[in-house]
Amino acid sequence: MSQELSAEQIQHALQGISVPPQPQIMVDLQFEQYMPDPDLEVIAKLISQDPGLSGALLKLVNSPYYGLTNKIASIQRAVNLLGSRSIINLINAQSIKGEMSDDTIVTLNRFWDTAQDVAMTCMTLAKRIGSQAVDEAYALGLFHDCGVPLMLKRFPDYMRVLEQAYANAGTHQRVVDTENQAFNTNHAVVGYYTAKSWRLPEHLSNAIANHHNALAVFSDESARNSQLKNLLAILKMAENICSSYRVLGNQAVDHEWNAVGHLVLDYVGLSEYDFENLKQTIRELGTH
């Protein structure tokens, strides 16, 4: 049973960190909400393509207003719980925040494109390898880089440093090390606090914090951190399939995958040959 929230309650619940929503998705959502009978399934599909909107939605549904026993990461379930009136109030609240310059939108297209592609690929991979956490794999793919637009907002030359960080990964540095040197923080840390502010489940926030720390995570051969390893294995494979190193990092080579790929494949029980076939299949499905 959905409990309707007023515009004021929504504004109050959404105070704090916000990742700007994608302008085209906002237009499509506004269009759908003005239909005589808005379709919640269409609305859920649109929201689930955008990290900022999905984050705001999960923050709302995981807030004390709803009193859920366990925090959820499923965007479809969140839409069903909120109901159409609250969803429309949420969209309107986010559209007010969405004023950006054309230059910023062009730069952020790189972030939005990879977020959507990686999320879809994570979901496909999770199903292929028989993971129980399909919704969580999708959410991690969507949110793993949610610190990027916030870093860009704070540091105008951030994308240049991020490209350098991906290049430096070829010298056995983590992507986040270059960012730390330049800014004393990095997009994984900022992403972690964003995920916390969105009230995502703790292990998802933890995976966001560690998504450029995969070498250390997978080098630990003990049985610890299996939940983290399960999520990160899917994410690292998805990033490689979607060429995040090229789209976000502007690099010709995936240095990070070259360092950690064999450990990830070992962990999930795939050979290089299996993975190449899987990559080909997913690319042909058009989910990358």
Q: What is the pLDDT of residue 1?
A: 38
pLDDT in tens, 26-52: 889 988 888 888 888 999 999 999 999
Q: What is the pLDDT of residue 57?
A: 92
Of the segments 101-115, 122-136, 200-214, which one has the largest average pLDDT value?
A: 200-214
Does residue 252 sit in the same domain as residue 165? yes
Residue 80 lies in a domain: yes
**pLDDT above 90 as % of the chain:** 64
User: H helices within the chain, ranges in order?
Assistant: 7-13, 23-33, 40-47, 51-61, 75-97, 102-128, 134-143, 147-154, 158-168, 175-183, 187-197, 202-209, 214-219, 226-241, 244-247, 255-268, 272-285
Residue 216 lies in a domain: yes
pLDDT in tens, 164-189: 999 999 888 999 999 999 999 999 99
Residue 160 lies in a domain: yes
Does residue 180 sit in the same domain as residue 40? no
pLDDT in tens, 78-100: 999 988 888 888 887 776 555 67
Residue 121, pLDDT > 70, answer yes
- Residue 4: count of CB within 10 angstroms of its CB: 11
| Amino acid letter, 276 | E
The CA-based diameter of the chain, rounded to the nearest angstrom, is 57
For the chain, the domain total comes to: 2
Using the 3D structure, point to which of 79, 97, 115 is the last residue of a domain.
97
DSSP one-letter code for 71:
-
In sequence order, the 6+-apart residues with CB closer than 8 A to the CB of 175 are: 162, 165, 166, 168, 169, 186, 212, 249, 256
Does residue 39 sit in the same domain as residue 180? no
Does residue 75 sit in the same domain as residue 194? no
Using the 3D structure, point to which of 62, 97, 132 is the last residue of a domain.
97
Residue 82 lies in a domain: yes
Mean pLDDT throughout 59-81? Answer: 89
Using the 3D structure, point to which of 97, 123, 140 is the last residue of a domain.
97
Residue 1 lies in a domain: no
The residue segments making up the domain with residue 199 are 102-285
Residue 56, pLDDT > 60, answer yes
Residue 42 lies in a domain: yes
Does residue 87 sit in the same domain as residue 110? no
